[in-house]
């Protein structure tokens, strides 16, 4: 049996990893996965050496108190890789952790595939040199990333973004969805998406709740809903959005409900790309601690943070960051889309172009084959 180390440093990576493991099993059934895993990877059959929650961290300052625990987790993973006949490692996102681990694995001659490129196009371009030394292959998930590796020695392969495999092709009728989730089909629907991490929920939840109050004052009959990301406690989401009257909580088939929304307000992240693929007009907002924001602003090399804007290389959707993220500013474009069909149609056309730029589904299988071939493993 071939042993492969897999490391998911946060819930989104856990979901990506589970999809990858399922795809690997289809083309190379004898591969066994072990490593840093969350609930999704464990359900897919990966053996837990470290729990994803042990190494999850967000923010330049916020991570400091957790460094001792994170270092202990890294040592356990390195030892596990050394104690087994490990043919390779698939490290998913989380570059601060994974690139350090990649260097350690390289000293043990374990080939490394990094799935999801570090944001070398956004900040810290010097990481490309680190990747050249420590990573055998990088699996790219955004179409514009390839140009940043063109002049390097990195073997970078575009496989597509994992969300392409998650968006259902048939959303069903609005009436059926309304009945299922207790909504009124004749009203306009707005999704509030405060994030999937505890820190995001604490910072963004009250902001989105206050924005919802403003929307209701302007358009009293709107339906407000929020989606629970995989692995997230539903009560944490409702607590973050406390005070939003009549809020509908969607825990299953969230893409189906999202796809019928007329607009959304989202914390910056992968959910913005999901909304783009579903054609939902949305505003992106984000807040960090003031210290982290000041450092990030100095280091940033991009004009936008929202993935649809980065892919289009221009501002398609409004994004409001830090002190600009205020309830009245978040509410303004949403009100415009809800009251102006032409404005809503224009942004939906723009989002369709973003969707086309990403390419077709089948991402997990392309990633599985690209990873295994980097290890020299035969696939059917």
Q: Please give the pLDDT value at position 292.
A: 65
One domain for residues 213 and 282:
yes
One domain for residues 179 and 315:
yes
Cα 109 to Cα 90, 152, 169, 231: the distances in Å are: 14, 22, 43, 34
Number of domains in the chain: 2
pLDDT single digits (tens) 57-94: 654 444 555 578 889 999 999 999 999 999 999 999 99
One domain for residues 48 and 120:
yes
Within-domain flag for 313: yes
Within-domain flag for 41: yes
Within-domain flag for 380: no
Pair 359, 367: CB distance under 8 Å: no
Radius of gyration, CA atoms only, the chain:
21
Pair 91, 101: CB distance under 8 Å: yes
Name the residue among 255, 253, 302, 270 with its Cα closest to residue 161.
270
Within-domain flag for 168: no
Range of 121's domain?
2-160+360-374
One domain for residues 349 and 364:
no
One domain for residues 155 and 200:
no
248/223 Cα distance (integer angstroms)? 8
pLDDT single digits (tens) 198-231: 788 888 999 999 999 999 999 999 999 999 877 6
Chain Cα centroid distance, residue 239: 22
Within-domain flag for 40: yes
Name the residue among 319, 321, 315, 320 with its Cα closest to residue 350.
315
One domain for residues 240 and 295:
yes
72/57 Cα distance (integer angstroms)? 14
**DSSP state letters, 124-177:** -TTHHHHHHHH-SEEEE-SGGGHHHHTTSS--EEE---GGGGTS-S----HHHH
CATH number at residue 44: 3.40.50.2000
Pair 41, 16: CB distance under 8 Å: no
Residue showing tokens 């625990």: 69
Within-domain flag for 331: yes
One domain for residues 192 and 121:
no
In angstroms, the first-to-last Cα distance of the chain is 16
Q: Please give the pLDDT value at position 61.
A: 44
Q: Quick one: what percent of the chain has pLDDT higher than 70?
A: 92
249/258 Cα distance (integer angstroms)? 12
Cα 120 to Cα 136, 147, 346: the distances in Å are: 17, 11, 31
Pair 263, 343: CB distance under 8 Å: no
One domain for residues 38 and 18:
yes
Average pLDDT, the chain: 91
Question: What count of Cα atoms within 13 Å lies in the side-chain half-sphere of residue 32?
Answer: 10
Within-domain flag for 296: yes
One domain for residues 263 and 232:
yes
Whether the per-residue pLDDT at 3 is higher than 70: the answer is yes
**DSSP state letters, 300-364:** ---S--SHHHHHHTS--S-EEEGGG--HHHHHHHHHHHHH-HHHHHHHHHHHHHHHHHH--S-HH
Q: How does residue 302 score in pLDDT terms, banded at 50, 70 and 90?
A: low
One domain for residues 24 and 77:
yes
Residue showing tokens 């992240």: 269
One domain for residues 283 and 184:
yes
One domain for residues 47 and 58:
yes
Within-domain flag for 167: no
* 150: exposed, middle or buried (Cβ count in 10 Å: 0-12, 13-18, 19+): exposed
Torsion of CA 293, 331, 303, 204, to 10 degrees: 30
pLDDT single digits (tens) 242-297: 989 899 999 999 999 999 999 999 998 889 999 999 999 999 998 876 676 555 66
Q: What is the pTM of this model?
A: 0.87
């Amino acid at each position: 049996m071939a042993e492969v180390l897999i490391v998911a440093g946060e819930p989104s990576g856990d979901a990506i990893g589970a999809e990858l493991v399922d795809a690997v099993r289809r083309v190379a059934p004898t591969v066994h996965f072990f490593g840093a895993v969350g609930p999704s990877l464990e359900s897919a059959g990966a053996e837990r050496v470290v729990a994803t929650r042990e190494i999850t961290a967000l923010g330049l300052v916020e991570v400091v108190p957790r460094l001792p625990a994170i270092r202990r987790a890294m040592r356990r993973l390195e030892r596990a890789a050394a104690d087994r006949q490990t043919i390779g490692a698939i490290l998913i996102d989380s570059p601060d952790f994974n690139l350090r681990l990649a260097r350690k694995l390289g000293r043990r001659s374990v080939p490394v595939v990094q799935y999801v490129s570090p944001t070398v196009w956004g900040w810290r371009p010097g990481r490309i040199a680190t990747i050249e030394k420590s990573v055998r292959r990088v699996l790219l998930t955004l179409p514009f990333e390839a140009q940043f590796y063109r002049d390097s020695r990195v073997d970078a392969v575009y496989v597509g973004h994992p969300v392409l495999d998650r968006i259902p092709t048939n959303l069903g009728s609005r009436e059926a969805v309304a009945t299922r989730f207790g909504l009124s089909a004749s009203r306009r629907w707005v999704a509030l998406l405060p994030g999937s991490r505890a820190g995001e929920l604490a910072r963004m939840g009250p902001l989105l709740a206050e924005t919802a109050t403003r929307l209701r004052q302007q358009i009293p009959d709107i339906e407000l809903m929020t989606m629970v990301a995989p692995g997230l406690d539903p009560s944490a989401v409702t607590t973050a959005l406390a005070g939003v009257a009549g809020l509908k909580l969607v825990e299953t088939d969230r893409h189906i409900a999202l796809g019928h929304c007329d607009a959304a307000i989202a914390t910056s992240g992968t959910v913005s790309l999901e909304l783009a693929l579903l054609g939902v007009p949305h505003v992106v907002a984000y807040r960090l601690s003031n210290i982290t924001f000041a450092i990030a602003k100095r280091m940033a090399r991009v004009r936008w943070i929202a993935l649809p804007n980065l892919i289009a290389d221009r501002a398609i959707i409004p994004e409001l960051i830090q002190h600009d993220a205020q309830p009245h500013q978040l509410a303004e474009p949403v009100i415009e889309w809800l009251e102006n069909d032409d404005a809503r149609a224009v942004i939906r056309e723009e989002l369709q172009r973003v969707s086309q730029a990403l390419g077709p589904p089948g991402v997990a299988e392309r990633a599985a084959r690209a990873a295994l071939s980097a290890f020299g493993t035969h696939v059917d």
